[in-house]
Amino acid sequence: MSNHISLKSCVAALAIGLSLTVFGNASAQNAVKLRMTIWSANEAHLKLFNDMAAGFKQTHPNVTVTYESLPFETYTTALTTQIAGGNAPDMAWIFETTAYDFVSSGALYPLGDKLAALKGYNLDEVSSGATERWSKDGKLYAYPFSTSPFAVFANNDLIRKAGAKTPAELIKSGEWTWEKAIETASAVGKTGKGGLIVRDFNYQNWQNLAAIWNGWGASPWSEDGKNCTFGEKPMTDALSFIHDAVFKNKAMPGPGENMDFFAGDAAMTITQISRASLLPKQNGFEWDLVPLPTGPAGEYALIGQAGIGVMQSSAHADIAADFVGYMTNPENSAKLAQFFPSARKSLLNAETLKKTNPLLSQEQLDKVVIAGISTGKVIPGHTGFAQIQQMVRAGLDSIWTPQTDIAAATQKICGQISPLLKR
């Protein structure tokens, strides 16, 4: 079992923290220090965030905002450990996979009324679909500052050198399918370079494979989250395809094989457009950004979300909520959209996105970003996700070997997680 500290176990700690909060003789002139945990240490991201903190300070001279970068791979565990230990940040980024847990646990300060009341904020232009995971009983508890489609970055230099067709060529001929994409990846893989990398998967974060299995119409559980569907045919077919891509076609790096697309080591990677900042600035390679390939179930898109929430235990929750409002107002949302596509309808057009995403063409913005946000499903999430995630990961370990029984493995997974899904 994971040593992850669940959010529900943190509620008691939060309550204690609240009861010990003393505002004393605080006034507008007292220094207020706010801390936000984030999972990025990217220099371009941090510069933008620090600029926003400086902008907020102009109207709130007594408030200082700092950011604490926690490792992506262990982010939620580190955050919940801080909460349980009485060292909760004032604000935090939250993964879409754990949104239900944070919202239902009582850990978050309600933001909806505060944001709606801010002059010029215009919360109404953010769709209910974008805020669904971040709301409960009609109240918004975190703002979805990033609604980012998954897409395929391609290294055209490596692909052409291997004598394969680029994604753009396959799209032009109407052949941009998973079968053809794996053929291209396999050709590059045979040269000693990597084929296709599902970034941040690493045979642990299995939910990122939704970028592939959604093309088969597969999902880990039913729409209402109550029934396991790992053992159903769409999922076993998709996992069989992925298994063959790894062990038969050598089109995807196997367990323990670490290759970095952005260092020029692989043909393609599936990730979100915020990773465009990792592309080499000089002496790089010719790259492209295209939608996910078509699967047996047809065209599809996958969205990753991230929310900003204020911790209920913060001694300055109201001021922290003001900062979240400032950070996500229309003007700053347009700046964030350079890395984190906005859920604001007014910003979902190629003209606006082009201003903050100069690396991307209008066609890429239209077909990858705007179309993806409009039609995509959000990556899987569930209450109690940390425990479910660990169980599924352990269950999938048995299929990441050359010889395996995928149907048996997925049936076993369902047997283990079904009680948790119904809980």
**Residue 272, strand partner residues:** 150
Whether residue 10 contacts residue 83, with contact meaning beta carbons closer than 8 Å, is answered with yes
Q: Is 344 inside any structural domain? A: yes
Q: Is 31 inside any structural domain? A: yes
Whether residue 412 contacts residue 404, with contact meaning beta carbons closer than 8 Å, is answered with no
Q: Is 104 exposed, middle or buried (0-12, 13-18, 19+ CB in 10 A)?
A: middle
Q: How many residues does the chain have?
A: 423
pLDDT at 30: 86
Q: Is 58 inside any structural domain? A: yes
pLDDT at 361: 85
Q: Is 285 inside any structural domain? A: no
Q: Using alpha carbons, select from 354, 368, 346, 240 the residue that is nearest to residue 301.
A: 368
Task: Work out how many domains the chain is built from and give that number.
Answer: 1
Cα separation, 88 vs 7, whole angstroms: 12
Cα separation, 421 vs 219, whole angstroms: 14
Q: Distance from first CA to last CA of the chain, Å, rounded?
A: 18
Cα separation, 294 vs 176, whole angstroms: 6
Q: Is 113 inside any structural domain? A: yes
Return phi, psi of residue 307, to 5°.
Answer: -115, 155
Cα separation, 406 vs 398, whole angstroms: 8
Q: Using alpha carbons, select from 231, 233, 255 the residue that is nearest to residue 243.
A: 255
Per-residue pLDDT of 55-77, as tens digits, reads: 999 999 999 999 999 998 889 99
Exposure letters 138-175 (e unless 16+ CB within 10 A, then b): eebbbbbbbbbbbbbbbbbebbeebebbbbbbbbeeeb
Q: Which residues of the chain have pLDDT under 70?
A: 1-29, 282
Residue 371 domain boundaries? 7-148+304-378
Per-residue pLDDT of 264-305, as tens digits, reads: 999 999 998 778 778 887 678 999 999 999 999 999 999 999
Q: Is 396 inside any structural domain? A: no
Q: Report the CATH number that the domain containing residue 37 is assigned in CATH.
A: 3.40.190.10
pLDDT at 128: 80
Q: Is 189 inside any structural domain? A: no
Q: Is 354 inside any structural domain? A: yes
